[in-house]
Amino acid sequence: MTEPGSIDDIQHMLAQEGYVCGRALATALFLSLRLGRPLFLEGEPGTGKTEIAKALATALGRRLIRLQCYEGLDASSAVYEWNFAAQMIALRAAEAGGNANATALTDHLFTEQFLIARPLLQAMRPQPGGPPVLLIDEVDRTDAPFEAFLLEALSDFQVTIPELGTIKAPQPPIVILTSNRTREVHDALKRRCLYAWVDYPDFDREAEILTARAPGIAQTLSREVVAFVQALRTEDLFKKPGVAETIDWAKCLLALDTVALSPQVVADTLGALLKYQDDIARMQGSEAARILERARSALPAA
């Protein structure tokens, strides 16, 4: 599929993949595609930052290459590594065959045949269907040295392998970085990107998302679910439920053939919404009933 020609096209294209995108986020994504700039998405966990990369890759018919970040991630793990087992087998086979040319053997061992490409290197190479979507997920989990390494990759869309030289992407990949803001990412990295804050959606958009992602849910129950989750987010919780948890909870309620929310149903299924025992314990008993009553009283007119 060709790249969308307008912001409305972005919203329509993503909606076809079940992703309901607000105007501000669609604008940032459109400009990222049009200008060839990485897009840095920051926001609370579960607000759809990772999903937008998946939906975009599917909509464009491009390969999704995901680099899941973690503490201690280094350049070699993100770019490439050598297949040492295969190199050892080749070395022993050469020795058994009487190959005494050490220089030629060394040159042979550090070739593409023994190279294992990791996400960043894969993204720099041509892919069927066009440049891939490179998702650098939860970049805030890494450290400053890895951020510094990313500066070259995102500025020039190239990576360097000492044994092979510099590999530059013939066409830049579509790059999306996400951060849950567990720490501040350095300004130098952000400056190389367009930026968008991905917030919790308002009532209408979250209801629309729920309809798209849990199509079997009745409208009445859907509105109750969204109202309850949005009321729950105003409570003093260790981890507020994101949109992903709203969808999971709705699917659980569908599996239980729930017609309407009740304090008992809420208490029985809180594990789909809340992921910390202290939060679940706080919502037991009369708290669930109180929040449910407050959510129902705040329901906007249908």
- pLDDT tens-digit profile of 24-48? 999 999 999 999 999 999 999 989 9
**pLDDT band, very low/low/confident/very high, at 102 (cuts 50, 70, 90):** low
68 contacts 222 by C-beta, under 8 angstroms:
no
- Residue 285 pLDDT > 90, yes or no? no
Q: CA triplet 134, 129, 28: central angle to 5 degrees? A: 45
Task: Give the C-alpha separation, 93 to 227, whole Å.
Answer: 67
**pLDDT band, very low/low/confident/very high, at 100 (cuts 50, 70, 90):** low
Lowest mean pLDDT, pick from 9-23, 84-98, 118-132, 147-161: 84-98
Position with higher pLDDT, 112 vs 67? 67
pLDDT of residue 80: 92
Task: Give the C-alpha separation, 108 to 106, whole Å.
Answer: 5
Task: Give the C-alpha separation, 123 to 202, whole Å.
Answer: 35
- Residue 97 pLDDT > 80, yes or no? no
- Residue 103 pLDDT > 70, yes or no? no
**pLDDT band, very low/low/confident/very high, at 104 (cuts 50, 70, 90):** low
